[in-house]
Amino acid sequence: MREGALAKYTKKTLMYLFLILASLLSIFPLYWSFISAFNNTQQILGGRMIPSVYLVQNIQNLFEQQDVFTALKNSFATSILQTVVALAVSSIAGYGFEIYHDKAKDSVMSILMLAMMVPFVAVLVPLFQMFTQAGLINSWIGFILPSISTPFLIMYFRNSARSFPRDTLEAARIDGLNEFQIFVRMFVPMMRPTYAAAATITFMNAWNAYLWPKVIMQTNDSITMPMMVANLMGGYVIDYGVVMAGVTICSLPTVIIFFVLQKSFTNAVAGAVK
């Protein structure tokens, strides 16, 4: 019996050690990049684990080398625009598919779901050709257009529309609201948590997007944050303090969203599969 208790105790300790190790490894790269924004190249490569005094200098150098304001402006504009438009277009579609569902609409929905299996890179060449012809290169519209109607978001909102009470719908109709008014005045306010969750994940995806922006945002004026960060390692002599300052500025918005809206974000990640 004593031996059993001892084995159990050892097992428990090992489990905690395993989880602590995993947690430390998970947070280390982000922690290290953050404190490295305070350090110079020599300290960073040497493996200094605590902040030093070079933050202001690193940020000054970063702003001298790169057009950070333009990148921030473009990233915030495209990410916010994409979030707002994607939520509007996809949520009303998900609502339409669920509330008015019949055989025809259900089959359209299953066709749309197939688009989930189309890798983005497989449509890259035609999209680039189409967008060049339409004059959408270097524009915010061109940036957001491929990502505002996604099967993922449509399915997410269709699933949540399932919990929209039929009584509310019927009562609103009797009160004389038309179908669009019911969506805007009843569904949207009721589904605020769903919108918050979808917004977190859409914003993060837009903020971190790289392949499509790299294809379509070709001038210095249309550069986004990930593209700017990627440029920081271009030269022969790399100032790692500047790189880490850039990485930190690029990561801050998504890390803040992660901590402030963690519950929404978690729901969004797992939500569409339920």
Partner 1 sequence: MTNAVSSPKKRRLSMHQKQSLAGWAFLAPATLLIFVLSFYPMFSALLTSFKRGRPTALEWSDPLIRNYQFMLRDKVFLQSVTNTLTYLIIQVPIMLALAVIFASLLNNRNLKLRGLFRTCIFLPCATGLVAYSMIFRTLFTYDGMINNVLLRFGIISEAINWLNDPVYAKAVIIIGLIWRWTGYNMVFYLSAMQSIEYSIYEAARIDGANGLQQLTRITIPLLRPIILVTAIMSTNGTLQLFDESVNLTRGGPGNMTITMSHYIYNTMFTKNPNFGYAAAMSFVILVMVAVLAAIQMKVGDKR
The Cα 40–Cα 53 span in angstroms is: 9
Question: Is there a contact between 193 and 267 (Cβ–Cβ < 8 Å)?
Answer: yes
Which range, of 57-65, 135-143, 191-199, 236-244, touches partner 1 by CB under 8 A? 236-244
The Cα 105–Cα 60 span in angstroms is: 56
Question: Rule CB under 8 A: is residue 229 a binding residue for partner 1?
Answer: yes
Residues 41-70 that bind partner 1 (CB under 8 A): 44-47
Q: Which of 68, 199, 216, 243 touches partner 1 by CB under 8 A?
A: 243
Question: Rule CB under 8 A: is residue 26 a binding residue for partner 1?
Answer: yes
Taking the least distance from each CB to partner 1, the nearer of 56 and 115 is 115
Integer-rounded Cα Rg, in Å, for the chain is 24
Question: Rule CB under 8 A: is residue 214 a binding residue for partner 1?
Answer: yes
Query: Shortest approach of partner 1 to residue 179 CB, angstroms?
Result: 4
Question: Rule CB under 8 A: is residue 80 a binding residue for partner 1?
Answer: no
Question: Rule CB under 8 A: is residue 257 a binding residue for partner 1?
Answer: yes
Which range, of 55-63, 76-84, 189-197, 209-217, touches partner 1 by CB under 8 A? 209-217
Question: Rule CB under 8 A: is residue 123 a binding residue for partner 1?
Answer: yes
Residue with tokens 């986004």: 224
Please write down the long-range contacts of 128-135, taking CB distance under 8 Å and 24 or more positions apart. 128/215, 128/216, 131/216
The Cα 205–Cα 148 span in angstroms is: 11
Taking the least distance from each CB to partner 1, the nearer of 40 and 90 is 90
The Cα 69–Cα 78 span in angstroms is: 14
Selection from 103, 74, 236, 95 nearest residue 154 by Cα: 95
Q: Which of 35, 216, 223, 232 touches partner 1 by CB under 8 A?
A: 232
Selection from 23, 49, 18, 14 nearest residue 34 by Cα: 49
Q: Which of 13, 29, 106, 107 touches partner 1 by CB under 8 A?
A: 29
Q: Which of 6, 17, 56, 122 touches partner 1 by CB under 8 A?
A: 122
The Cα 24–Cα 168 span in angstroms is: 48
Q: Which of 22, 56, 171, 184 touches partner 1 by CB under 8 A?
A: 22
CA angle, corner 126, sides to 125 and 132, nearest 5?
A: 95
Which range, of 23-31, 52-60, 62-70, 76-84, touches partner 1 by CB under 8 A? 23-31
Site string for partner 1, 164-203 (x = CB under 8 A): --------------xxx--x--------------------
Selection from 235, 239, 217 nearest residue 226 by Cα: 217
Q: Which of 72, 80, 130, 186 touches partner 1 by CB under 8 A?
A: 130
Which range, of 55-63, 76-84, 189-197, 266-274, touches partner 1 by CB under 8 A? 266-274
Locate 175 and state its tokens: 């009160």
Task: Give the Å distances, CA to CA, from 262 to 98, 208, 259, 270.
Answer: 27, 17, 5, 12
Question: Rule CB under 8 A: is residue 142 a binding residue for partner 1?
Answer: no
